[in-house]
Amino acid sequence: MFTFGTMPLNQQFFGRRLPDETPMSAYWGARAIWTRGVLDIPWDRKCFHPDPVPEDFKDWLLKKAPPWLDDLMKSGPEHVFRLDDGAYHCEAGEQSSYGYIYICAWKD
């Protein structure tokens, strides 16, 4: 279900936008679909930066984000949720899209 990405950020943008002044050395974003309690992340709705992605960020994202997203979706996608774990961060929220969940993760 959860894979890292398909497109460098300079080709296409998906996910929540962060303020320009947000310090980050790596970014991953996705537009997921929330349907009947299941979070689906289409293969072509993900982006990342830089290319190649730092291995420590990739490892953190693949281990931490799936269980965190599963837990927060159980409470409903109506709010913006944030996970801070040292230099790593993740946000997810609906952004009034009625079914899409916008996700971003970044490393300071």
Domain boundaries, the chain: 7-107
Topology of domain 7-107, CATH: Beta-Lactamase (3.30.450)
pLDDT in tens, 24-57: 899 988 888 877 767 788 888 888 888 888 999 9
- Between 4 and 56, name the one with better pLDDT: 56
pLDDT in tens, 75-105: 665 678 888 999 999 998 887 667 788 899 9
The C-alpha atoms of residue 63 and residue 12 are separated, in whole angstroms, by 25
What is the predicted pLDDT for the residue at 75? Answer: 65
- Between 76 and 65, name the one with better pLDDT: 65
Q: Which amino acid is at 50?
A: P
What is the predicted pLDDT for the residue at 53? Answer: 85
Question: Mean pLDDT: which of 2-6, 64-68, 88-92, 98-102 is highest?
Answer: 88-92
Judge whether 6 and 31 are in contact, CB under 8 Å: no
What single-letter DSSP state applies at residue 27?
A: E
Q: How far is CA 94 from the centre of its chain?
A: 12
Q: Which amino acid is at 107?
A: K
Would you call the peptide bond into 52 cis, given omega within 30 degrees of 0 as the criterion?
A: yes
Is the C-alpha dihedral spanning 57, 49, 54, 3 positive or negative?
positive
- Between 4 and 54, name the one with better pLDDT: 54
Q: Rounded mean pLDDT of the chain?
A: 79
What is the pTM (predicted TM-score) of this model?
0.79
Kind plus residue range of the DSSP H or E element containing 104: strand 100-107
